[in-house]
Structure 1
């Protein structure tokens, strides 16, 4: 029997303290919903429904555990003392901006958890993981250590998996993970072209850079990840984001482009030096044609693309060989974007279908379907070496929904986050979750 190859999507499970803090400068959706009341239970169930739907379509689907929030350990490092209730109260009253940051729900966007290179691309034939350091935002810079522990619990077998420490915690090596990384290939098991998209050069200020919003990914970080993963220069492309679209709210590349197999779906304003870089991708890809699907500004404006997250969609190869877009319902509700997608699936391209999903709780916090998942290309043996408890099944779907019903509040305001009882509820939920997913001790409160 021949070896099978998969692209597995590991979706971030929304945590029990899901909230809208509006912390992410440069993320238009996040800022526009700042401090609105959230529904942790609805958010978690929306995410689980998408995971189960993709599982039902025949996809291999995984679950990525949330982080603990509020982050009490960080507050103690910053000088807040007493019992946990005291720490929360002092932080909330004395430094509300810091307090809101350590309550952030941003770890739900698993596309920022790490960069992943499959064994077909790496020098040692192992799947390599490097957690993103997310240095550009304080609230996100709190994530890499826990993300690393979760990844090591999910992908524990050293025969198949190699884990790296995140890059140095410095803006020169700002790394945002898979949100700025795309892999094209003829087949998931074949060597592919890994595309690292960056916003600026850290050591050369003469190069183009945005002026309004920050460029979160640096060229130097992308090169470092490629070195760590043992990638070949002949199969790697470094592509700079257009600074003008970053200044229009395109904070990550996956807000303006998405790739899968032999398709790159992108907006015409997405990149610098587009024509030359697409030619480089095609040359490194080989004889098979890459389908470069360019959305013109006359068809969909950058503003509409950001508002609907047209490109923050999942582009999936279905079991029957066709390709489908997994889009948020915001795309369906926007007449220009909906009309574009209706027309797209009639063209002679691999993309033949659009499936719409309601992920409004995530969208309001600044992330669409693509933000919610980390893509990992695996073969049969590698998939068998993954912690089986994190792979979606009908039974796991039921058990996680019951777990959400048991532990999650229906509504949460920003003021609720200072309630010590919420911290107790959250820790109880996460402790039970690590048993369901067989992760061991990955949270600080379990380790200390």
Structure 2
């Protein structure tokens, strides 16, 4: 383990891992938890078991969950995702010399589909987690859709609210196809797997879904084999604006048809907010856009919210910046995924000594306005998940996020009223331990 004076930033402060698993009950609460919230708030993130990893993205996955029920915070659980990498050590190939997609850290997202809870990372198969009472978030094992999945699975699948289908992709490898599109039906059966022709292995973290289309992002962050072959070298991708940048449009009703590519300015996008069809030949996409991907020659620059409007008749893309506030982790009401959602929200993390405090900002994407909940100095929010108050998509609800307090080195689950975001929190659940900064999660209500 690195000495304190040499600890890299991604292993220091609240990026540092916790060292054990914990179950706690009857958590203290400031405020009042809405009684409509019955379920689990789950969030995944890297938590290297040996407290060492060459990059933040590479730590072993750990799921943190808070159970809300009848106006109470009844329990907290954190569990490592026990992948084959966690239990048996790192490996890339299986005994036949093929890529081993069970080798995983499963540290990026946690979603539910067809009755299964899946921990995801984009380099591997999903790992299924137990959700039985008393066994919550223990690892069941790798999940490959009954042997049908033969590529990795993105950490950002999209569920169609109309059909219940799960749309996703896999990318990577040293030879084509570098990108494959997949679709599973509402029952969890994998029904579509088709290669998408791209010229190189690029880092494709997210994509877009609308009622009628799937849109891929082929952006100039390209796999670098030399970096990949150096132990401990970090993320094996390099910014290469000469590669170009483009969006690939596939019709959902013709999943094996042609993908139409439209050029955009070079940039990088980790995360999409939402997308929708604005007519027979127009698609609107919202993204957290970086002007470039950080590299030794290019310092990191924050992402900001942008809107891309695709004109399929003209074959053009109009690119517009929506706001100049730094943002990440864009989300919307998942029941409106692929539809014209009026609202979307983002997180500004802030940091100790930063002039910009941590905040969650909600955009009225039709009205062009925004409201923010700004946290006190030293309180840093993560991604906020939307929890609906009723069965009306786009209706009222709450935003749930873990917040770290630097002064006390503790963490809370904060519940905000999505329609009164600037108001004080509805409830603050005080957690029994610090929750390290992580990536993505969801509000998983109990089945009706």
Q: How does the TM-score come out when normalised to structure 1? A: 0.38
Higher strand share: 2
Report which of the two has the higher share of helix.
1
Q: Specify which structure has the bigger relative contact order, considering alpha-carbon pairs within 8 angstroms and separated by 6 or more residues.
A: 1
